[in-house]
Structure 1
Amino acid sequence: MRKPFGILKKIPESSGVYRFIGKNNKVLYVGRAINLKRRVSQYFQKNIDPRIVEMVLLARDVKITKTNTLFEAIILEANLIKKYLPKYNVREKDNKSFVHLVIPRRVMYPQPFIVRGRELEIGKWRNNGNYVFGPFQGIRELQELLKIIRRVIPLSMGRCVPNSGKPCFDYQIGLCPGVCIGAITRQEYQKSIHNLILLFSGKKQALIKRLQKDNPGQAVALKHIQDVTLISGMEKWKVSIGKQFFGRIEVYDISHFGGKDTYGAMSVMENNRITKDQYRLFKIQSAPGNDDIRALEEMIKRRLRHREWRYPDLMVVDGGIPQVRHIYGVLKLLKTKFPLVGISKLQGDRFVFAPGIDLSVRKNIQAMRTALLGLRDEAHRFGNRARKRGTKNISEHRLVKQFCYTE
């Protein structure tokens, strides 16, 4: 290809995949980029690898497939390399860093594995009917890709032992759906695995359509996964999910009657769905009557002791500056970092943000205003209902017995 300039003019400055096409429409090389025009133009510069010069001279055309994000381009690139086995991608194929994603077929709770290319031909990975995706350029890239995906579709990986009764670390940070503690059925988990297979098969739109019926929150999050910036030659992931997708949101509210029978109520939203089975009540034990701030502190400290419960991605307290300032100090002493927001009734349900929440995240939280106010009201109703019924017969009432924690 001696006169590339006409082709370069037509290439967009967007993310996507490019293919160098040779004689008889044969694919010589597949690559991807966050800026297609800039990346493809580099192949026509001086002082480049002789192997690249050879490939460019053999090329008759460059074909482009635009993607919305680099995230999608990475998956498409892997699928096209697998499909065409281009001659000039072979060097990468033989490289030790060349990796695949493998999903076992015949297990109850499949865990995705990252496997080097050569390992596919030996041992337990050889010809056993597993789902295999790739090749990908390196382990770190695929690890980061999976981390982003698991924020939207939680999956079991690594040291998670199914039904062991002990929550794994990934469960506590929202990457595992709770296979370890039996928080998800086998059928529901298999749905998540099927969704992962659709995504890595390049069927993102089909997956979004499926999720719009089954889990609208995940569908919204998947639509708005955004990319990655190139810094010093390395691709470092920055995830920005439209209206910020918080996998788990917890709202805390204190209710009492004249300083007596004080309860802390916690309402929960997971994956954009209110999950009432995750609601919790705390019978306040040590905080003085009428001291809502101390009651809130006691409640949150006790909540954080329950490591078997998945940790929140966003904490919301019913209160203004005093409550947020105090709880922020408590979290700091506990060396625990969660985004913290207060909802001040006295200021017309104004949001009060704790330090450390940047402007873009604040805007995303503001965009969730209706949902967060509704969740705050849920916590208030839940706490008042328990308090009123609990005062009649706290030892017998089903609601209090089921949800109340004294630990």
Structure 2
Amino acid sequence: MKAVLTVATSLIVQRQQPLSLKVEDIPGSLEEIPSKTGVYIFRNVRGEPLYVGKAKNLRRRLGAYFQAEVSLKIRNLLQRATTLEIILTRNEKEALILEARLIKRYRPRYNVVLRDDKNYPLLRLTIREKFPRLQIVRRRKKDGNLYFGPYPSAKSVRETLRFLGSIFPLRRCSNAEFSRRLRPCLEYQIGRCRAPCVGLIGEDEYRTLVDQVIHFLRGQRRAVLERLRQEMFDAAEKLEFERAAFLRDRIQAIERTLESQTIICPDEINRDVIGLAQEDGWTAIVVVFVRAGELVGQKGFHFPRTKEDPPELLASFIKQFYDEGKVIPEEVILPVLPNDAELLSQWLKEMAGYQVRLLSPQRGPRIEILRLAQTNAIELLKRKKLREEAWENIAQELAGRLRLPHPPRRVECIDISNIQAEAPIGSLVSFFDGEPDKSSYRHYHLRSPGPNDYAMMAEVLERRFKKAKNDLPDLLVVDGGKGQLNVALTVLKELGLEDQIALCALAKERDGEGEKIYLPYRKNPLLLPKHNPALLFLMKVRDEAHRFGVNFHRRVRNKKALSSLLEEIPGIGPRRRARLLEHFGSLEAIAQADPAEIAKVPGMTRTLAERVDEYLKARYGLRDENSP
């Protein structure tokens, strides 16, 4: 198959007269490849990218691929590659940006691919608003607000937000809610808001509270303590004992935090410290997040069957880990400097808006943090290696038992959840190399009429695979028996995917003590020993799909139950019902509101508000204080 050599300037591809080449003919046609900066893409016979790279001199770099002594990885790549595409750029920085984007988009097989490249939770303080609030977000925007983080997990950022709410009572409501409030909400009653919505705190005093939050999140916590102690003494002198007690409780909460936190740097510089461990083709990377001298968490990554040198590997990692929208620290500490360290530093500076230094310390306080990251990377490598080796045994067992063409890497399972066709839900879970890949989990609200499990299964399969091209599982598991298997097989045939996706169905024995595995074109089910690792893995995947679907189905049913209570009130249709729940958040909150506040919701009248108020107060057993 002939290759198209495409020449482009900047990031906009401007096609010239195409030059047709075979990859095997490239060694004899190197003079036709320009000695300029750009990006190159090796593709297979189906046009799928196998490898994306960049070079300052494309002719020299591509010539190195065809020398006598090359790595096994390059030999395998050239055996599978049939076409080559080249994109010229104006400079190395553009080549770096384009390479990072193409790797992120195509996830080529022969590149080091960061599979967990999601944006980690951040805290945003909306200082551009009159009364700022803290929000959990996933991306940093250039909107003039302040961002703090990243936090290693959603749980950790929620805990931080909950703690901050207890000692710095900023508002939590949306701007729409804030503008419509006539009286303080429940957050004020429990001491987690000062009710600026109804003027119970002035703008100047609120800004003082905001400044304390900023200092606290930037690590200046002892300075915050000194200010709070002074405020407490002033309040006591003025005989404002209730306020003094409130400040005392805040001081004690911060002191408990200071006792438990881990300070590993005396300065207040934000750092990411990257540890790297390699052994027998296995690689583990750990990123330790240090904010204002405090260790706030870490995140680990592993790359099986990777043999890149540390400088090349770290360069690939940095280009994928840091992206638009992520909080980039002032320093990135590394065991060795990556390839193009200066260029990477400039790229990070452009995204961050300030100087970002890549450092590989040999002595001093930074080396101690690096050793910590290195130790964690070594431990992660040991754990992951054991898990991967165990998974390889399971994958080999699956391939042998289910007659698969090769050991599977991605396994997906589909489950249907419904009660007499009420709010039917389809759930899909995905496992990669034996571990849950939760970013690929999916829910489907089903439209199939009646309690027809087969029709529901077919709908989920069609919606999952109709537009799928490269993102296909090696093995698809359906929860059910032979009927569900035949439905799945029919859908895959109609979509032309029968030969690309292996299929099986997993069903419990009638006595509930065993499992049957149904395979296409096989009359009798496959029965495996109870403790067979392949069977245990299939059961784990099936049970995860069931858990994921049932939990979501329960939430959908509860939401419908809440809406149905409002449906009983004459004059409250779907639109008014949705606006009420959106404004107040729950039926109990609506029941506790007065008619004047309910009437402020768009689409509501005073008469309807009184009707809602009367109905829900009776329903929840609530009465006004003046009621008999």
* TM-score, with structure 2 as normaliser: 0.31
* TM-score, with structure 1 as normaliser: 0.45
Determine which structure has greater relative contact order: mean sequence separation of CA pairs < 8 Å that are 6+ residues apart, divided by chain length. 1
Could you say which structure has the larger radius of gyration? Answer: 2
